[in-house]
Structure 1
């Protein structure tokens, strides 16, 4: 029995591949030195869907993304990518990460490498692509985000917004099944935020499946299909952005959003 069929049998449904989320998180628990960070969390990211995680610092948003990319082992529960149980200890994490792109808030570009070399490193080293083929794909993507002329520059010669766009291109170059974005605007000056958000909106319009954490409530409202409010390592409330951000049901969600409003960020 395939993993897809096994999951369907557990759910009591037929094994319809179209109905299986790209990412499925079930009862995931994560502890750090006895501190519970994720506490039985459930989450689905459907095909071509954009799920946005909001919540206070320490609510588990970044930890969830790192667990989904197998950068952190989970303590209990399971995570599935296209029906495959990727948190099974027997699974090769490097093989899984080839299907997932991740963008961090701090860019994580190699300062001693040009933009082009940063973008083509994984295709050449991990996917064993020919250098010319990898460079052609990288230049196509850099051109798409308006940075082709920066291909031979080094990261410290770029603005923060340009560096983050390069980081997104690096995550896209291998055509990932799922894109994870962790507070991709938090390290940027306010005037640079818009160019990165425009790029993410464009990816949404093209059907990229994404799970992202953000403190930009206006952005969440524009880009999300589903907004999930995390509190204490659990999804306390989820739904369309107009419901969760405009008329939340949970008192805890309302208090969180009121603080955002008071800070002028909604």
Structure 2
């Protein structure tokens, strides 16, 4: 079976700074791949390239075997199939929760307002926010805002969900409710690529952990292997620092 996502020799530079240096990665159906690594290792840039928010300089990215980084491809059509959530919630403060979620389905994807609202309310109910549809974002906690942002990414039933440090902006006591939602998505079979500094979460939710170093996947394997018995010295150094910081 072909992978849902395939990155082949992807290269991305910003001026003289090489951020992705021939990175290759496949993600299978229903697989949850967690990207770890030091700041600057390329995790967030990779997610932005997959969602076509950044152009790659070389290589190819395929979604269900479609070459989505071909310049002739319409990026808006591809983004209908890929949901992405950032560490900053990016909710419109002047719009209600329901309007934030239904904006793209109605204006971009041509869904009727009623159908979009029905789908949004269904998803909000699943994440315990059914009573918050009419609220404005500043009336919600950080954890609630991030769950709304994830619902917004899910409302179009994406083929692939990308999560970029979705707990980094949250107070520690709010992290758990977002991680619980991600675990539920995993149990539902959602295919996900997650960049995170939450090593305990990576251990719980990942089918595979990929350690990025200098723009490449240096080591990849089950969480118990990469986080518990890494084979590469650079991975061992990273995990050792994480343990010393009390984050694993």
Alignment of 1:60 onto 2:42: yes
Distance 1:223 1:158 in 2: 26
Q: How does 1:7-156 map to 2 (within 5 A)?
A: 19-156=1-138
Aligned residues: 248
Alignment of 1:233 onto 2:228: no
Which residue of the partner structure matches residue 157 of structure 1? 139
Distance 1:34 1:95 in 2: 32
Q: Deviations over 1:45-89 (max 9, x none)?
A: 100000000000000000000000000000100000000000000
Distance 1:84 1:129 in 2: 24
Distance 1:165 1:174 in 2: 15
* 1:111 alignment partner, SS class: coil
Q: Could you list the runs of 5+ residues in structure 2 that have no partner in the other structure?
A: none
Alignment of 1:224 onto 2:224: no
How far 1:180 moved relative to its partner? 0.2
TM-score normalised by structure 1 residue count:
0.93
TM-score normalised by structure 2 residue count:
1.00
How far 1:127 moved relative to its partner? 1.0
Q: Would you identify which runs of 4 or more consecutive aligned residues in structure 1 move more than 3 Å?
A: none
How far 1:97 moved relative to its partner? 0.2
Distance 1:62 1:248 in 2: 23
* 2:59 alignment partner, SS class: strand
Distance 2:237 2:145 in 1: 34
How far 1:115 moved relative to its partner? 0.1
Q: Could you tell me which of 167, 175, 178 is aligned with 1:193?
A: 175
Alignment of 1:178 onto 2:151: no
Distance 1:128 1:134 in 2: 10
